[in-house]
Amino acid sequence: MALTVVGSLAYDAVETPFGKRDRMLGGAATHFALAASFFDTVHVVGPVGDDFAEEDMQILATRGTNVDDVERVAGGKTFFWAGRYSANLNQRDTLDTQLNVFETFEPKLSDASKAAEVLFLANIVPDLQHEVREQCERATFVAMDSMNLWIDIARESLEKVIARVDCLILNDEELEQLTEAPNLVQAARRVLEMGPTVVVAKQGKYGAALFTADDMFWVPAFPLETVVDPTGAGDTFAGGFVGYVAAHRAEPLTEGMLRRAMAYGTALASFNVEEFGTERVARLTAGEIAPRVGNLQRITHFEDKPVELRG
């Protein structure tokens, strides 16, 4: 079994209250792959320029990730993003976005990438997501991300892709914007009527929520004493979540399995934010993950007891 991700590979310049990096490996597909590679063989599809360093390709290939479909565009430059975070990391300003090779990107999937049973469409132009989705005929679980920009300028295309995927992973406020619902529960219900059977709402530092036809699940972000750089946390979460599902593709997609996938996504994302960019997850080892999932369970569990109430 294999897992294909289509999305951005990038260089990021990031400044947080705790330091800065002028040029570090980033991109949605990168963060996704580094997390998902703990669970399955990941095939990465995305473009880079001449400037993409061999050592960064090595990082992308961590834990056996297949980089054969990383397209090196001759004469092109890698996607570049620069941003600065506020004091409490709650807000970030984009200082620069250079699409570069991403501007003319047309995903070309090898047979190996097309054959994946699980597919993740990271945040790119909805029409490209749709094209890729149609190419992966064998995929039995397709998840996707998107962003407010596409809701604003390409809603029709976006809704077309959403109708063709099993799982939409989006920020809570984007879900509300997409559905024009006044709250997250209503927003999720409306997405479940659009096609997906699973909706995941990312809530940033507050955690994430899972919605299916019959159930809901809420998990907090893993509490940390040290948060250095939130860049890529959402894609790392998605990598852990979708990776977990991919590793258990032989089983039915039960609520219990999806909840565990949420927990592993949460654990992976928590490592990501402890250092800049990919630094922490690139050298993360398998043995470090399960204890954090165990702690997540401990800090969310309570035992109810009957209580005598008045009135």
Which is nearer to a second copy, 83 or 135 (by Cβ)?
83
Which is nearer to a second copy, 156 or 305 (by Cβ)?
305
Task: Find the shortest distance in angstroms from Cβ 172 to a second copy.
Answer: 9
Task: Find the shortest distance in angstroms from Cβ 294 to a second copy.
Answer: 6
Place of tokens 């998605």: 238
**Which of 153, 171, 133, 161 lies closest to 45 in space, CA to CA?**
133
Task: Find the shortest distance in angstroms from Cβ 60 to a second copy.
Answer: 14
Which is nearer to a second copy, 159 or 173 (by Cβ)?
173
Which is nearer to a second copy, 72 or 206 (by Cβ)?
206
> In the Cβ-directed half-sphere of 306, how many Cα atoms lie within 13 Å?
1
Task: Find the shortest distance in angstroms from Cβ 189 to a second copy.
Answer: 8
**Which of 95, 28, 24 lies closest to 53 in space, CA to CA?**
24
- For 255, the token pair is 């609520």
Yes or no: say if 135 and 259 are a contact pair by the CB < 8 Å rule: no
Q: Distance between CA atoms of 1 and 139, rounded to whole angstroms? A: 10
Which is nearer to a second copy, 88 or 94 (by Cβ)?
88
Which is nearer to a second copy, 95 or 223 (by Cβ)?
223
Strands (E), 113-263: 118-121, 141-144, 167-171, 198-202, 208-211, 216-219
Helix axes 126-135, 155-162, angle to 10 degrees: 30
Task: Find the shortest distance in angstroms from Cβ 191 to a second copy.
Answer: 14
User: Which stretches of the chain bind a second copy, using CB under 8 A?
Assistant: 17-18, 37-40, 62-64, 87-89, 173, 176, 182-186, 189, 203, 206-207, 209, 215-220, 223-225, 227, 244, 247, 256, 259-260, 262-264, 284-286, 289-290, 293-294, 297, 299-311
Yes or no: say if 128 and 107 are a contact pair by the CB < 8 Å rule: yes
Task: Find the shortest distance in angstroms from Cβ 108 to a second copy.
Answer: 27
